[in-house]
Amino acid sequence: MSRTSLAKKTFSSIKGKAQNALHRSLDQQVKLAVTGLSGSGKTAFITALVKHLTTQASDKNLPFFDVVREQRHIATKVVPQEALKVPTFDYARAVNALLPDDGMPCWPASTQRINTLRLAIKYQSNAGLRGHFSAQSTLYLDIIDYPGEWLLDLPMLEQNYTQWCELQYPLLTEYPRVNSSAEFLAAVNQLDLNAPVDENALARIAELYQTMLVGLKKDTKLAMLQPGRMLMPGDLQGAPLLLFFPIASEQITTEVVAGSNLAHLIKRFNAYVKEVVKPFYNEHFRHFDRQIVLVDVLSALNEGHETLQEQSSVINQLLAHFSYGESGFFKRLFKPNIDKILFAANKSDHIAAKHHKDLALLLNSLVHEQSNELKFDGVQIETMAMSSISATQPRQVSDKGHTLECIYGKPLNEADWLTYLPPQPPSRMLNKHEWPAQKFEFLAFAPMPSPDKQLKHIRLDHVLQYLLGDKLA
């Protein structure tokens, strides 16, 4: 071989190696956590995300998602996950419910525990287009779906049993909880805290407490219901560390009688925090890169002032814990990675398009208290109104010379389709005396049949751009 051809060969092999290394270095991994209280739309969101990226990624469908609009998206597919201990999100089941081969579509069953799914998104990077090599990269997107109820346990990490009782017990004597707490409070009042432990009595009262929490969740959509695992026990149902409840903090003596009912309540609270709450943050939460929190603002409005107010205070409590300042409790404990958080007011297809902005502003006002501080700490926060799966169509109706912006769809559990004028959501948090006397009543809808097997969305592309755009640049 001549010297020149040897030199050429060596050069091209070095160039090839450099390109391979560059490709590898361009491959990235992102952990996107999806949370929200039960019913906020996590399952629907993940199903829509996967469906759009795997089979509907056209610029017409996702015009605000840069990688798609710029025709750089090559293909996305579901690939085996790395986290072998975490159950897989059942995408096939969910998409079949929404787009059945025959019969009416229905909403898939909701999240009850942590799930995950991994996507490989193959794309042409901008660096490749600008440079002299063809940089085809792959972004491995791990989607982690976990109940928001678990996230709400976060403040418990900083509390002892007495402090937890100081916050939780008085709530039970106030509206709206007081309507459901009578039986539980009566049972707690009868419990002799200093008597030797009566396991059956504790289990019975814990069951009353759990029934009350589950009922409150269903009937009032209140957010601050702890411990979160009582609402979403996963595989902990019946485990002794879930069998505790708050008591009046004045009854907690400094000298706790060993082996007493009180001693056992304290022990279980501590075990819950140590063995359930803490491991969740250690094993999962601190590894997340991006977080979307789905908020069902419209259902909270339907429930009334207290529920919306509580949504706001819960969001703000959580954000306070996200605080990344060097001295932040959370930072010291977990060193989390999250650099972008999106709060999304979901189900905006339940209102007229001209009111989407009001919904986004309302959510922004609920989140507002802490968000400035977080931006300061280097975490970006955004609020948006969106709908992962649009279950309605816009309809204009003329009425006495006016055009009304209505929506058309099949209300959930109803037989007939309906053209309906939804109320306008407020664009900021209302005081109790500003709350409309007729209250809010937003309807929920069944998913639309889709003969072409395509899902429709509202602003899912904006959401994807915010959460992933920079990783796919």
> Which 348-387 residues touch ligand GDP, going by CB under 6 A?
349-350, 387
> Which 92-131 residues touch ligand GDP, going by CB under 6 A?
107, 110-111
The binder of ligand GDP chosen from 347, 355, 410, 459 (CB under 6 A): 347
The binder of ligand GDP chosen from 31, 32, 33, 41 (CB under 6 A): 41
Q: Which residues pair with 383 in a beta bridge?
A: 343
The binder of ligand GDP chosen from 297, 308, 391, 472 (CB under 6 A): 391
Is 72 an interacting residue with respect to ligand GDP (CB under 6 A)? no
HSE-up of 4 (CA within 13 Å, CB side)?
0
DSSP per residue, 220-283? H--S--SSHHHHS-GGGTT-GGG------GGG--SSPPTTBHHHHHHHHHHHHIIIIIHHHHHH
Is 44 an interacting residue with respect to ligand GDP (CB under 6 A)? yes
The binder of ligand GDP chosen from 33, 43, 292, 297 (CB under 6 A): 43
Tell me how many residues contact ligand GDP (CB under 6 A): 21
Through-space distance between the first and last CA atoms of the chain, rounded to whole angstroms: 43
Nearer to ligand GDP, 266 or 389 (CB): 389
Contact of 138 with 85, CB cutoff 8 Å: no
The answer for residues whose C-beta is within 8 angstroms of residue 377's C-beta and 6 or more apart is 323, 324, 325, 328
> Which 212-231 residues touch ligand GDP, going by CB under 6 A?
none
Is 42 an interacting residue with respect to ligand GDP (CB under 6 A)? yes
For residue 22, the minimal CB distance to ligand GDP (Å) is 39
Smallest Cα–Cα separation from 81: which of 150, 144, 36? 144
Nearer to ligand GDP, 36 or 336 (CB): 36
Contact of 140 with 29, CB cutoff 8 Å: yes
Nearer to ligand GDP, 379 or 448 (CB): 448
Nearer to ligand GDP, 35 or 210 (CB): 35
Nearer to ligand GDP, 40 or 371 (CB): 40
> Which 432-451 residues touch ligand GDP, going by CB under 6 A?
444-445
Distance between CA 146 and CA 411 in Å, rounded?
A: 28
HSE-up of 158 (CA within 13 Å, CB side)?
15
Q: Which stretch binds ligand GDP (CB under 6 A): 35-43, 284-292, 362-370, 375-383?
A: 35-43
For residue 94, the minimal CB distance to ligand GDP (Å) is 8
Nearer to ligand GDP, 40 or 76 (CB): 40
Is 39 an interacting residue with respect to ligand GDP (CB under 6 A)? yes
For residue 344, the minimal CB distance to ligand GDP (Å) is 10
For residue 408, the minimal CB distance to ligand GDP (Å) is 13
Sheet with 393-399, strands from edge to edge, namely: 393-399, 402-409, 418-420
Smallest Cα–Cα separation from 396: which of 387, 386, 408? 408
For residue 469, the minimal CB distance to ligand GDP (Å) is 21
What is the CB neighbour count within 10 angstroms for residue 405? 16
- What phi and psi, each to the nearest 5 degrees, are found at residue 438? -80, 0
Smallest Cα–Cα separation from 412: which of 102, 29, 8, 104? 104
Is 246 an interacting residue with respect to ligand GDP (CB under 6 A)? no
- What phi and psi, each to the nearest 5 degrees, are found at residue 31? -105, 110
For residue 435, the minimal CB distance to ligand GDP (Å) is 24
For residue 352, the minimal CB distance to ligand GDP (Å) is 14
For residue 460, the minimal CB distance to ligand GDP (Å) is 9
Is 181 an interacting residue with respect to ligand GDP (CB under 6 A)? no
- What phi and psi, each to the nearest 5 degrees, are found at residue 192? -85, 105
| 371: helix, strand or coil | helix
Sign of torsion over alpha carbons 265, 267, 270, 271: negative
Nearer to ligand GDP, 108 or 246 (CB): 108
Is 410 an interacting residue with respect to ligand GDP (CB under 6 A)? no
For residue 38, the minimal CB distance to ligand GDP (Å) is 4
For residue 385, the minimal CB distance to ligand GDP (Å) is 11
- CB burial string 54-75: b at 16+ within 10 A, e below: bebbeeebbebbbbbbeebbee
The binder of ligand GDP chosen from 81, 168, 226, 346 (CB under 6 A): 346
For residue 217, the minimal CB distance to ligand GDP (Å) is 11
Ramachandran class of 203: left when φ > 0, alpha when ψ lies in -120 to 50, beta otherwise: alpha
Binding site for ligand GDP (CB under 6 A): 36, 38-44, 107, 110-111, 346-347, 349-350, 387-389, 391, 444-445
